[in-house]
């Protein structure tokens, strides 16, 4: 069990929400005698049924962003973002905003529930069926797209972390993909977006079908998966054709990897590693992953909430709480995290249904996010987004710099203006005190070095600063916040 103090409280809030100040952390610390109690509080929410409905992709995008900025359950939205990346689906191909919004609600309702049930629901999710061509998957000409990504990205991964006793690491074969694609033949959805099976297009495996060749018994994992059964695992459900896709999931969730006598449940470690990477650190140790999986019972209950509870209580979760040094494995904020955290910390809203920042280029938040490399509802591919350093190129950093300039230049938008006078104590006159107040506001006071603080003081200028002077206050406070939002340290989670 990790320590419970201001540092761990701060880290817990930072990683489960959108920005955290010292005061936020102190409040949480005061409310709970133990870390376990605080973690329980963070996880104790009933997922909302919020659906970002709208007529255009811009509508639903903006509604979701707006929801994130105002939500009292930031952890819920961080989980929906994770699942949106994990089950990446793009409206670029789906081309139906209702289906995209429907999937968003599905991910929210299931965000911390039963992972196996979530995968079964994704099997039948209309947007996913469009995106990975389940709707084009027919018995005579099966389409392998969904079957492949189901294993590669959603549940197993291509390679196991450790090879089996025969030295093999591949989690599945091409034959397994072909077989699983059979289970999904004939699936489509109706005009309400509800999945249904067209049995005429389903591969029933009949020997007397008029197409060739019949593909044999409906089995998977003859060679892989730790079942050690050359006959494979049957997903045949008799004439209950629709049950085959559930059976496939049940079998995949029994897949094991590693040498005989020391096998582990593949799905549990794979998904846990991704969640730990997302919430904790880029390359978690094997022992960290195993400890979280084992302590949570995830491999049996598939409770995401239990997995998160074990994760947030684990020592290694707090390895990256301290300011970055040579050995600290920091993570880079996702663009949406950068934007939402900033607006929440500065207590700013976006303007109109277009959700634009009312300063600088007056760009919409969607355009800002496009330039930062993260367009929600349109991930670049089925792999979702690349994380960490891949977020940081000159193009995407410039977009962050633009956003920082725009928010601090927002002067004429009422509730969407940047008003430092409401955020810090204007009676301060000492440059050091002003810098401390600003870095406190941005939640980076515990991450900056003395050299950083001195550079900020140098920017404000020597001597006593009169923040009552309108021009000084605006020019220097705007400038300081702007450059700090552009600084390397603020890009880190």
Partner 1 sequence: MAITRRQFLQRAGMATAGGLFGPQLFRNPLLSQALASTIGDRYFVVLFLDGGNDGLNTIVPVTGALRAPYEAARLTGAGGLRIVNPLVPNAGPAFLDPNTGGQLGFHPGLAGLRDLYEQNMLAVIQGCGYPEYSLSHEQARSIWERGNPFGTLSNGWMGRYLEAPSSGYLGSDIPAVNIGDSVAGEYLQSATSVLVFDRLNDFGFPYDDYYDDDYAAKDALFSALHANAAASGNSFMQYLSGTGASTLTAAQQYPELHDQYIADRLSWSQAYTDSDAPGLNTSTARGLREVAKVIYGVARGTIPSNLRARFFQLHNGGYDTHSNQGAEETDGDHFLLHQEIAQSIKLFYQDLADMASGAPMGSGLQNLPDKVVLVVWSEFSRRIQQNDNGTDHGSQGPMLVVGGPNAINGGIYGNHPDIANTDDNGNTPYSQNNGDGFRSTDFRDVYGTIMKHWLGLANPSPIFPLDSTVGLLGDEYWNTANFNLPFL
* Among the residue ranges 214-222, 260-268, 297-305, 393-401, the one whose residues contact partner 1 (CB under 8 A): 393-401
| Cβ-based neighbours of 458, under 8 Å, separated by 6 or more | none
Question: Which of 200, 287, 394, 427 is in the footprint of partner 1 by CB under 8 A?
Answer: 394
* Among the residue ranges 97-105, 224-232, 422-430, 481-489, the one whose residues contact partner 1 (CB under 8 A): 481-489
Question: Which of 411, 429, 468, 470 is in the footprint of partner 1 by CB under 8 A?
Answer: 411
- Restricting to residues 197-216, name those near partner 1 by CB under 8 A: none
The rounded Cα 135 to chain-centroid distance in angstroms is: 27
Distance CA 127, CA 131 (A): 6
Residue found by looking up tokens 């598939």 in the block = 302
Sign for the CA dihedral angle at 402, 403, 407, 408 comes to negative
CB of 431 to partner 1, least distance (A): 13
Whether 138 and 186 have beta carbons less than 8 Å apart is answered as yes
Per rule CB under 8 A, is residue 219 in the interface with partner 1? no
The rounded Cα 204 to chain-centroid distance in angstroms is: 38
Per rule CB under 8 A, is residue 455 in the interface with partner 1? yes
- Restricting to residues 90-129, name those near partner 1 by CB under 8 A: none
Question: Which of 23, 283, 458, 469 is in the footprint of partner 1 by CB under 8 A?
Answer: 458
- Restricting to residues 304-343, name those near partner 1 by CB under 8 A: 324-326, 328, 330-332
User: In this complex, which beta carbon is closest to partner 1, that of residue 294 or of residue 378?
Assistant: 378
How many other C-beta atoms can be found within 10 angstroms of the C-beta atom of residue 474?
16
User: In this complex, which beta carbon is closest to partner 1, that of residue 381 or of residue 429?
Assistant: 381
* Among the residue ranges 70-78, 240-248, 300-308, 473-481, the one whose residues contact partner 1 (CB under 8 A): 473-481
CB of 286 to partner 1, least distance (A): 17
Whether 410 and 456 have beta carbons less than 8 Å apart is answered as no
H or E element in which residue 189 lies: strand 187-189
CB of 163 to partner 1, least distance (A): 11
Per rule CB under 8 A, is residue 391 in the interface with partner 1? yes
3-state helix, strand, coil in the chain (%, to 5): 55, 5, 45
H or E element in which residue 387 lies: none
- Restricting to residues 126-185, name those near partner 1 by CB under 8 A: 132-133, 136, 138, 140-145, 148, 152, 158, 170, 174
The rounded Cα 338 to chain-centroid distance in angstroms is: 13
* Among the residue ranges 114-122, 222-230, 247-255, 479-487, the one whose residues contact partner 1 (CB under 8 A): 479-487
Residue found by looking up tokens 């963070």 in the block = 42
Pairing state between β 219-220 and 233-234: antiparallel
Whether 199 and 239 have beta carbons less than 8 Å apart is answered as no
User: In this complex, which beta carbon is closest to partner 1, that of residue 193 or of residue 324?
Assistant: 324
Tokens of 131: 């995106």
Per rule CB under 8 A, is residue 452 in the interface with partner 1? yes
Distance CA 4, CA 190 (A): 51
* Among the residue ranges 41-49, 81-89, 265-273, 383-391, the one whose residues contact partner 1 (CB under 8 A): 383-391
Tokens of 464: 């006593």
Question: Which of 26, 449, 466, 470 is in the footprint of partner 1 by CB under 8 A?
Answer: 449
Question: Which of 19, 74, 258, 360 is in the footprint of partner 1 by CB under 8 A?
Answer: 360
| Coil, strand or helix at 401 | helix
# binding residues, partner 1 (CB under 8 A): 72
Per rule CB under 8 A, is residue 354 in the interface with partner 1? no
Distance CA 155, CA 380 (A): 20
* Among the residue ranges 45-53, 56-64, 303-311, 452-460, the one whose residues contact partner 1 (CB under 8 A): 452-460
Question: Which of 217, 415, 432, 488 is in the footprint of partner 1 by CB under 8 A?
Answer: 488
Whether 403 and 372 have beta carbons less than 8 Å apart is answered as yes
Per rule CB under 8 A, is residue 365 in the interface with partner 1? no
Sign for the CA dihedral angle at 488, 392, 152, 49 comes to positive
User: In this complex, which beta carbon is closest to partner 1, that of residue 164 or of residue 246?
Assistant: 164
CB of 423 to partner 1, least distance (A): 18
Distance CA 483, CA 469 (A): 21
Per rule CB under 8 A, is residue 378 in the interface with partner 1? no
CB of 312 to partner 1, least distance (A): 22
Per rule CB under 8 A, is residue 417 in the interface with partner 1? no
CA distances from 414 to 40, 139, 347, 367, 420 (A): 38, 59, 12, 22, 13
User: In this complex, which beta carbon is closest to partner 1, that of residue 123 or of residue 486?
Assistant: 486
CB of 137 to partner 1, least distance (A): 8
Per rule CB under 8 A, is residue 409 in the interface with partner 1? yes
Tokens of 337: 């995290």
How many other C-beta atoms can be found within 10 angstroms of the C-beta atom of residue 74?
21
User: In this complex, which beta carbon is closest to partner 1, that of residue 37 or of residue 488?
Assistant: 488
User: In this complex, which beta carbon is closest to partner 1, that of residue 152 or of residue 433?
Assistant: 152
CB of 59 to partner 1, least distance (A): 24
Per rule CB under 8 A, is residue 54 in the interface with partner 1? no
| Cβ-based neighbours of 418, under 8 Å, separated by 6 or more | 346, 348, 359, 407, 408, 409, 410, 411, 478, 481
User: In this complex, which beta carbon is closest to partner 1, that of residue 116 or of residue 366?
Assistant: 366
| Coil, strand or helix at 114 | strand
């Amino acid at each position: 069990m990790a320590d419970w103090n201001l540092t761990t409280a701060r880290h817990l809030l930072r990683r489960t929400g959108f920005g955290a100040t010292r005061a936020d952390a102190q409040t949480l610390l005061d409310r709970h005698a133990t870390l376990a109690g605080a973690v329980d509080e963070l996880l104790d929410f009933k997922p909302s049924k919020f659906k970002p409905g709208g007529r255009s992709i811009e509508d639903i995008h903006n509604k979701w962003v707006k929801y994130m900025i105002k939500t009292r359950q930031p952890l819920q939205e961080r989980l929906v973002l994770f699942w949106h990346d994990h089950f990446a689906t793009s409206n670029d191909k789906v081309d139906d905003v209702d289906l995209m919004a429907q999937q968003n609600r599905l991910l929210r309702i299931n965000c911390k529930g039963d992972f196996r049930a979530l995968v079964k629901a994704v099997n039948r999710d209309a947007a996913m069926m469009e995106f990975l061509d389940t709707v084009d998957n027919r018995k005579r000409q099966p389409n392998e797209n969904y079957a492949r990504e189901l294993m590669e990205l959603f549940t197993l991964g291509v390679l196991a972390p450790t090879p089996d006793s025969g030295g093999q690491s591949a989690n599945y074969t091409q034959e397994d993909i072909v077989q699983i694609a059979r289970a999904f033949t004939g699936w489509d959805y109706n005009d309400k977006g509800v999945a249904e099976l067209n049995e005429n297009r389903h591969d029933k495996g009949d020997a007397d079908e008029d197409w060739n060749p019949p593909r044999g018994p409906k089995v998977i994992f003859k060679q892989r998966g730790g079942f050690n059964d050359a006959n494979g695992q049957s997903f045949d459900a008799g004439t209950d054709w629709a049950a085959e896709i559930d059976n496939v999931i049940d079998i995949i969730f029994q897949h094991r990897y590693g040498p005989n006598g020391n096998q582990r449940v593949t799905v549990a470690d794979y998904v846990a590693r991704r969640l730990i990477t997302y919430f904790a650190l880029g390359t978690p140790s094997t022992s960290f992953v195993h400890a979280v999986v084992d302590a949570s019972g995830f491999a049996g209950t598939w409770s995401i909430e239990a997995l998160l509870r074990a994760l947030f209580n684990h020592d290694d979760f707090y390895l990256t709480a301290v300011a970055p040094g040579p050995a600290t494995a920091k993570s880079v904020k996702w663009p949406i995290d950068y934007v939402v955290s900033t607006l929440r910390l500065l207590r700013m809203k976006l303007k109109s249904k277009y959700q634009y920042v009312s300063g600088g280029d007056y760009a919409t938040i969607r355009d800002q996010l496009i330039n930062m490399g993260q367009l929600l509802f349109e991930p670049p591919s089925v792999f979702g987004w690349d994380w960490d350093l891949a977020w940081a190129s000159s193009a995407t950093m410039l977009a962050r710099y633009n956003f920082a300039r725009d928010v601090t230049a927002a002067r004429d938008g009422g509730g969407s203006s940047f008003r430092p006078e409401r955020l810090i104590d204007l009676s301060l006159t000492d440059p050091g005190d002003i810098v401390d107040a600003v870095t406190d506001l941005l939640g980076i006071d515990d991450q900056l070095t003395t050299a950083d603080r001195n550079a900020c003081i140098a920017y404000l200028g020597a001597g006593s600063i009169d923040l009552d002077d309108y021009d000084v206050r605006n020019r220097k406070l705007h400038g300081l916040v702007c450059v700090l939002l552009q600084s390397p340290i603020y890009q880190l989670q």
